Amino acid sequence: MSTSELAIDVQGVTRIFESRKGFLFREISRTEALRGVDLQVERGAIFGLLGPNGAGKTTLTKILSTLLLPTSGTVRVLGHDVVGDVAWLRPRMGLVLGGERGLYNRISGRENLRYFADLYGVPLRERDARIAEVLARVDLTWAADRRVEEYSRGMKQKLHIARGILHRPQILFLDEPTIGLDPKSARETRKLVRSLVADGVTIFLTTHYMFEAEELCPRIAILSKGRIVAQDSVSKLRELVGGDRTFEAEGYGFDDRELETLRRLPGVSKIVTEEFGPVLRLTLRVRTGELQPDDVRRTLASHEEVSVRERRTSLEDVYLDLVEEEAN
């Protein structure tokens, strides 16, 4: 992959926040929000950045979209440096930080978009047609002339996205686009995101919802405490944590010898043990192959009330495994 094919190329990025607090602001608190991030995103797809609250997702999104400077490291977006080439980059990128802020409540959705079109330098001749187009795109034509204060949370989010694509950016940053939305609005937002990619827009999306990343993003990176702990396709990530099959066995009083026997079963790559009161749960990561839940049941046959079930390894399993390894 040549560098010019990359939509985003992040090398060794750190970001430290320093703020004063305490008596007469004499104490300085220091937060390392990003600790050496390397990230490569190809053009023309949805890339998902997944991580819990406080992982650094918004900080990275703001650096990528030129709103915030990195403390160190280099960032290129569409082949251009986010520190040096701001004037070239800004018209080519869209940013949707979401939430309630950034919209004018007293005027209509259409009037909001007129304001932003002028701000982004959309030619006046094209303005109203362009606005009608993005309103249709996000399915808000019917409410275009209502005041934004009458909009639901989901409608506001659609208007945010309309604003983000008004100037036809090549790359769109969406920071937690479905947070706080009801399930129906969240689903409509995901559908809209998918339709934008079909037009060739590169989308960089952050989320802390595993299923959302799994559903939308062919490739994802997992951010934990300011570090990327993995970046790959979801199926490669399943391999990385030892297999795409997961068996869960629950029961009472399994002993070390039995655990050892399970570990030696062909295909078993890893076993995690959890206690829920008196109940023990064994989670077995299993590679594609012949092993069946019955083989596990036989090993644990001396115990009563053992349940064993198989499911597909989820992105959540992958995430927990990787974040756990990082902590150890």
Site string for Mg ion, 16-55 (x = CB under 5 A): ----------------------------------------
Judged by beta carbon, residue 58 or residue 261, the one nearer Mg ion is 58
Q: For residues 163 and 251, give the distance between their C-alpha atoms in angstroms, rounded to a whole number.
A: 54
- According to CB under 6 A, which residues from 47 to 86 bind ligand ADP? 51, 53-59
Strands, E assignment, the chain: 6-21, 27-42, 46-50, 72-77, 80-81, 93-96, 171-175, 202-207, 219-224, 227-233, 245-251, 268-276, 279-286, 307-312
Contact residue for Mg ion among 58, 170, 261, 292 (CB under 5 A) = 58
Residue whose entry in the numeric block shows the structure tokens 């992959």: 1
141 contacts Mg ion (rule: CB under 5 A): no
10 binds, among Mg ion, ligand ADP, none (CB under 5 to 8 A by kind): none
Residue closer to Mg ion by CB (options 52, 84) is 52
Nearer Cβ to ligand ADP (47/254): 47
- CB contact set of 188 (below 8 Å; sequence gap of 6+): 139, 154, 158
Closer to Mg ion by Cβ: residue 49 or 308: 49
Residue 88 binds which one of ligand ADP, Mg ion, none, with CB within 5 to 8 A depending on kind? none
Tell whether residue 36 is a contact of ligand ADP (CB under 6 A): no
Place of tokens 């950045």: 49
CB 240 within 8 A of CB 317: no
Token pair recorded at residue 116: 């932003």
Q: Which is nearer to ligand ADP, 231 or 299 (CB)?
A: 231
- Three-point CA angle 176, 181, 186, nearest 5°: 75
- Most distant pair of Cα atoms in the chain: their distance: 80
Q: Report if residue 33 touches ligand ADP, rule: CB under 6 A.
A: yes
Q: Which residues bind Mg ion (CB under 5 A)?
A: 57-58
Q: For binding to ligand ADP (CB under 6 A), which residues are involved?
A: 17, 19, 31, 33, 51, 53-59
